[in-house]
Chains A and B, each alone.
Chain A
Protein backbone atom coordinates (compact mmCIF):
# COMPACT_ATOMS: atom_id res chain seq x y z
CA UNK A 1 0.00 0.00 0.00
CA UNK A 2 1.55 3.22 -1.20
CA UNK A 3 -0.92 5.57 0.43
CA UNK A 4 -2.87 5.91 3.67
CA UNK A 5 -5.67 7.78 1.92
CA UNK A 6 -9.11 6.23 1.96
CA UNK A 7 -10.56 4.97 -1.33
CA UNK A 8 -13.15 7.79 -1.16
CA UNK A 9 -10.43 10.40 -0.63
CA UNK A 10 -8.57 9.14 -3.67
CA UNK A 11 -11.69 8.98 -5.82
CA UNK A 12 -12.83 12.52 -4.98
CA UNK A 13 -12.31 14.93 -7.82
CA UNK A 14 -11.25 12.16 -10.16
CA UNK A 15 -13.20 10.98 -13.15
CA UNK A 16 -16.67 11.59 -14.47
CA UNK A 17 -19.98 11.16 -12.70
CA UNK A 18 -21.00 8.87 -15.59
CA UNK A 19 -24.23 10.69 -16.40
CA UNK A 20 -22.65 13.10 -18.88
CA UNK A 21 -23.38 10.98 -21.95
CA UNK A 22 -27.14 11.06 -21.43
CA UNK A 23 -27.09 14.84 -20.94
CA UNK A 24 -24.89 15.29 -24.02
CA UNK A 25 -27.20 13.18 -26.19
CA UNK A 26 -30.34 14.85 -24.79
CA UNK A 27 -28.97 18.29 -25.69
CA UNK A 28 -28.35 17.14 -29.29
CA UNK A 29 -31.63 15.26 -29.74
CA UNK A 30 -33.58 18.33 -28.58
CA UNK A 31 -31.39 20.49 -30.86
CA UNK A 32 -32.31 18.38 -33.91
CA UNK A 33 -36.01 18.58 -33.03
CA UNK A 34 -35.75 22.35 -32.53
CA UNK A 35 -34.45 23.01 -36.06
CA UNK A 36 -37.88 22.60 -37.72
CA UNK A 37 -39.76 23.73 -34.59
CA UNK A 38 -37.87 27.06 -34.43
CA UNK A 39 -38.54 27.82 -38.10
CA UNK A 40 -42.23 27.02 -37.53
CA UNK A 41 -42.21 29.17 -34.37
CA UNK A 42 -40.87 32.23 -36.23
CA UNK A 43 -43.78 32.08 -38.68
CA UNK A 44 -46.23 31.37 -35.85
CA UNK A 45 -45.05 34.54 -34.05
CA UNK A 46 -45.41 36.50 -37.34
CA UNK A 47 -48.98 35.23 -37.65
CA UNK A 48 -49.87 35.90 -34.00
CA UNK A 49 -48.33 39.39 -34.05
CA UNK A 50 -50.73 40.43 -36.80
CA UNK A 51 -53.85 39.42 -34.88
CA UNK A 52 -55.57 39.99 -31.51
CA UNK A 53 -56.79 37.73 -28.71
CA UNK A 54 -59.66 36.24 -30.73
CA UNK A 55 -57.39 35.64 -33.70
CA UNK A 56 -54.87 33.89 -31.46
CA UNK A 57 -57.57 31.67 -29.92
CA UNK A 58 -58.89 30.84 -33.39
CA UNK A 59 -55.36 30.04 -34.53
CA UNK A 60 -54.88 27.68 -31.58
CA UNK A 61 -58.31 25.99 -31.78
CA UNK A 62 -58.64 25.87 -35.58
CA UNK A 63 -56.69 22.65 -36.12
CA UNK A 64 -54.92 20.07 -33.98
CA UNK A 65 -51.61 20.92 -35.70
CA UNK A 66 -50.98 24.35 -34.14
CA UNK A 67 -51.56 23.38 -30.47
CA UNK A 68 -49.58 20.14 -31.00
CA UNK A 69 -46.57 21.93 -32.46
CA UNK A 70 -46.88 24.67 -29.81
CA UNK A 71 -46.82 22.11 -26.97
CA UNK A 72 -43.86 20.35 -28.62
CA UNK A 73 -42.07 23.68 -29.09
CA UNK A 74 -42.51 24.53 -25.41
CA UNK A 75 -41.61 21.08 -24.10
CA UNK A 76 -38.53 20.57 -26.30
CA UNK A 77 -37.39 24.18 -25.84
CA UNK A 78 -37.55 23.99 -22.06
CA UNK A 79 -35.67 20.68 -22.02
CA UNK A 80 -33.00 22.24 -24.25
CA UNK A 81 -32.95 25.46 -22.19
CA UNK A 82 -32.51 23.51 -18.98
CA UNK A 83 -29.61 21.49 -20.40
CA UNK A 84 -27.92 24.52 -21.93
CA UNK A 85 -28.19 26.74 -18.87
CA UNK A 86 -27.01 23.83 -16.73
CA UNK A 87 -23.77 23.65 -18.73
CA UNK A 88 -23.30 27.42 -18.45
CA UNK A 89 -23.78 27.31 -14.66
CA UNK A 90 -21.45 24.32 -14.27
CA UNK A 91 -18.80 26.05 -16.39
CA UNK A 92 -18.72 29.41 -14.67
CA UNK A 93 -19.85 28.91 -11.05
CA UNK A 94 -17.26 27.25 -8.87
CA UNK A 95 -18.68 27.59 -5.35
CA UNK A 96 -20.60 24.41 -4.57
CA UNK A 97 -23.48 26.06 -2.71
CA UNK A 98 -23.97 28.82 -5.29
CA UNK A 99 -23.71 26.30 -8.11
CA UNK A 100 -26.19 23.89 -6.53
CA UNK A 101 -28.59 26.75 -5.81
CA UNK A 102 -28.46 28.02 -9.38
CA UNK A 103 -28.85 24.49 -10.80
CA UNK A 104 -31.96 23.99 -8.64
CA UNK A 105 -33.30 27.42 -9.67
CA UNK A 106 -32.70 26.55 -13.32
CA UNK A 107 -34.57 23.24 -12.95
CA UNK A 108 -37.49 24.77 -11.04
CA UNK A 109 -37.86 27.78 -13.37
CA UNK A 110 -37.86 25.52 -16.45
CA UNK A 111 -40.25 23.01 -14.89
CA UNK A 112 -42.67 25.69 -13.64
CA UNK A 113 -42.66 27.88 -16.75
CA UNK A 114 -42.81 24.87 -19.08
CA UNK A 115 -45.70 23.25 -17.22
CA UNK A 116 -47.60 26.56 -17.00
CA UNK A 117 -47.16 27.09 -20.74
CA UNK A 118 -48.25 23.57 -21.73
CA UNK A 119 -51.27 23.73 -19.40
CA UNK A 120 -52.25 27.16 -20.77
CA UNK A 121 -51.98 26.03 -24.40
CA UNK A 122 -54.10 22.95 -23.68
CA UNK A 123 -56.67 25.05 -21.80
CA UNK A 124 -57.15 27.35 -24.80
CA UNK A 125 -56.91 24.59 -27.40
CA UNK A 126 -59.49 22.42 -25.62
CA UNK A 127 -61.93 25.31 -25.57
CA UNK A 128 -61.69 26.32 -21.94
CA UNK A 129 -60.71 29.93 -22.72
CA UNK A 130 -63.07 32.78 -21.76
Chain B
Protein backbone atom coordinates (compact mmCIF):
# COMPACT_ATOMS: atom_id res chain seq x y z
CA UNK B 1 0.00 0.00 0.00
CA UNK B 2 2.81 2.43 0.84
CA UNK B 3 4.32 1.68 -2.55
CA UNK B 4 7.91 2.50 -1.56
CA UNK B 5 9.86 4.14 -4.40
CA UNK B 6 12.03 1.78 -6.37
CA UNK B 7 15.72 1.99 -5.57
CA UNK B 8 17.45 4.35 -7.98
CA UNK B 9 20.53 3.10 -9.85
CA UNK B 10 23.78 3.95 -8.05
CA UNK B 11 27.12 5.01 -9.47
CA UNK B 12 29.94 2.46 -9.23
CA UNK B 13 31.50 3.05 -5.83
CA UNK B 14 35.18 3.95 -5.52
CA UNK B 15 35.82 0.97 -3.24
CA UNK B 16 34.97 -1.54 -5.97
CA UNK B 17 36.96 0.27 -8.66
CA UNK B 18 40.51 -0.62 -9.56
CA UNK B 19 42.72 2.46 -9.90
CA UNK B 20 43.53 3.03 -13.58
CA UNK B 21 44.67 5.91 -15.73
CA UNK B 22 41.31 6.79 -17.33
CA UNK B 23 39.80 6.96 -13.84
CA UNK B 24 42.62 9.21 -12.60
CA UNK B 25 42.29 11.55 -15.58
CA UNK B 26 38.50 11.60 -15.22
CA UNK B 27 38.88 12.83 -11.64
CA UNK B 28 41.64 15.24 -12.68
CA UNK B 29 39.38 16.60 -15.44
CA UNK B 30 36.80 17.56 -12.84
CA UNK B 31 39.37 18.95 -10.40
CA UNK B 32 41.09 21.00 -13.12
CA UNK B 33 37.68 22.26 -14.26
CA UNK B 34 36.97 23.51 -10.74
CA UNK B 35 40.42 25.15 -10.62
CA UNK B 36 39.72 26.85 -13.94
CA UNK B 37 36.49 28.23 -12.45
CA UNK B 38 38.81 30.20 -10.18
CA UNK B 39 40.88 31.05 -13.25
CA UNK B 40 37.78 32.47 -14.95
CA UNK B 41 37.17 34.71 -11.95
CA UNK B 42 40.82 35.89 -12.12
CA UNK B 43 40.25 36.66 -15.82
CA UNK B 44 37.21 38.76 -14.89
CA UNK B 45 39.26 40.50 -12.18
CA UNK B 46 41.93 41.29 -14.79
CA UNK B 47 39.35 42.98 -17.03
CA UNK B 48 37.79 44.96 -14.17
CA UNK B 49 41.21 46.09 -12.88
CA UNK B 50 42.27 47.16 -16.38
CA UNK B 51 39.10 49.21 -16.78
CA UNK B 52 39.70 50.79 -13.34
CA UNK B 53 42.97 52.49 -14.34
CA UNK B 54 46.76 52.22 -13.98
CA UNK B 55 46.88 52.08 -10.17
CA UNK B 56 44.39 49.24 -9.79
CA UNK B 57 45.97 47.40 -12.70
CA UNK B 58 49.38 47.81 -11.10
CA UNK B 59 48.07 46.25 -7.89
CA UNK B 60 46.59 43.37 -9.89
CA UNK B 61 49.90 42.80 -11.68
CA UNK B 62 51.80 42.94 -8.39
CA UNK B 63 49.47 40.30 -6.90
CA UNK B 64 49.72 37.98 -9.92
CA UNK B 65 53.48 38.54 -10.08
CA UNK B 66 54.01 37.56 -6.43
CA UNK B 67 55.12 34.06 -5.50
CA UNK B 68 51.54 33.12 -4.60
CA UNK B 69 50.26 34.55 -7.88
CA UNK B 70 52.88 32.68 -9.88
CA UNK B 71 52.06 29.39 -8.13
CA UNK B 72 48.38 29.98 -8.95
CA UNK B 73 49.19 30.82 -12.58
CA UNK B 74 51.40 27.75 -12.93
CA UNK B 75 48.60 25.56 -11.57
CA UNK B 76 46.13 27.26 -13.89
CA UNK B 77 48.41 26.71 -16.91
CA UNK B 78 48.64 23.02 -16.06
CA UNK B 79 44.88 22.83 -15.43
CA UNK B 80 44.08 24.63 -18.69
CA UNK B 81 46.26 22.35 -20.82
CA UNK B 82 45.09 19.20 -19.06
CA UNK B 83 41.41 20.17 -19.22
CA UNK B 84 41.92 21.06 -22.90
CA UNK B 85 43.54 17.72 -23.78
CA UNK B 86 41.17 15.59 -21.72
CA UNK B 87 38.26 17.64 -23.06
CA UNK B 88 39.32 16.80 -26.61
CA UNK B 89 39.36 13.10 -25.64
CA UNK B 90 35.83 13.53 -24.26
CA UNK B 91 34.72 15.16 -27.53
CA UNK B 92 36.26 12.26 -29.49
CA UNK B 93 34.34 9.85 -27.22
CA UNK B 94 31.15 11.87 -27.81
CA UNK B 95 31.57 11.41 -31.57
CA UNK B 96 31.82 7.68 -30.91
CA UNK B 97 35.50 6.83 -31.27
CA UNK B 98 38.28 5.72 -28.93
CA UNK B 99 36.37 3.42 -26.60
CA UNK B 100 38.76 0.46 -26.83
CA UNK B 101 40.42 0.20 -23.39
CA UNK B 102 43.92 0.51 -24.89
CA UNK B 103 42.90 3.57 -26.94
CA UNK B 104 41.16 5.18 -23.97
CA UNK B 105 44.19 4.60 -21.73
CA UNK B 106 46.56 5.90 -24.40
CA UNK B 107 44.46 9.06 -24.75
CA UNK B 108 44.61 9.59 -20.99
CA UNK B 109 48.40 9.17 -20.95
CA UNK B 110 48.70 11.55 -23.92
CA UNK B 111 46.56 14.12 -22.08
CA UNK B 112 48.86 13.96 -19.03
CA UNK B 113 52.04 14.11 -21.13
CA UNK B 114 50.72 16.98 -23.26
CA UNK B 115 49.65 19.07 -20.27
CA UNK B 116 53.07 18.72 -18.57
CA UNK B 117 55.03 19.36 -21.79
CA UNK B 118 52.89 22.33 -22.85
CA UNK B 119 53.02 23.89 -19.36
CA UNK B 120 56.82 23.64 -19.23
CA UNK B 121 57.07 25.02 -22.79
CA UNK B 122 54.84 28.02 -22.02
CA UNK B 123 56.71 28.83 -18.79
CA UNK B 124 59.95 28.48 -20.71
CA UNK B 125 58.69 30.99 -23.28
CA UNK B 126 57.51 33.23 -20.41
CA UNK B 127 61.00 33.19 -18.89
CA UNK B 128 62.59 34.02 -22.26
CA UNK B 129 60.18 36.85 -23.17
CA UNK B 130 60.38 38.58 -19.81
CA UNK B 131 56.81 37.70 -18.84
CA UNK B 132 57.83 36.29 -15.45
Contact = CB atoms under 8 A, between A and B. Distances in A.
A58 to B, nearest CB: 12
A3 B3 CA distance: 8
Given A13-B5, A35-B88, A42-B122, A53 B50 contact: yes
Please tell me the size bucket of the interface on A: 35 or more
Chain B contact residues: over half helix, strand or loop, or mixed? helix
Contact of A46 (B41, B58, B88, B131): B131
B129 A46 contact: yes
B40 A78 contact: yes
B37 A117 contact: no
A123 B40 contact: no
B48 interface: yes
A102 interface: no
B77 interface: yes
A48 B43 CA distance: 12
A12 to B, nearest CB: 8
B54 A130 contact: yes
A129 B91 contact: no
Contact of B36 (A13, A45, A81, A128): A81
A85 B37 contact: yes
Interface residues of B, number: 42
A77 B51 contact: no
B117 interface: no
B30 A120 contact: no
Given A50-B131, A118-B47, A120-B50, 14 more contacts: A13-B8, A28-B94, A31-B87, A35-B84, A38-B80, A41-B80, A46-B122, A49-B64, A49-B131, A49-B132, A74-B40, A84-B33, A123-B51, A130-B54
13 contacts: A5-B3, A12-B5, A46-B129, A48-B46, A49-B131, A52-B57, A53-B53, A53-B57, A57-B50, A74-B40, A85-B37, A119-B51, A124-B50
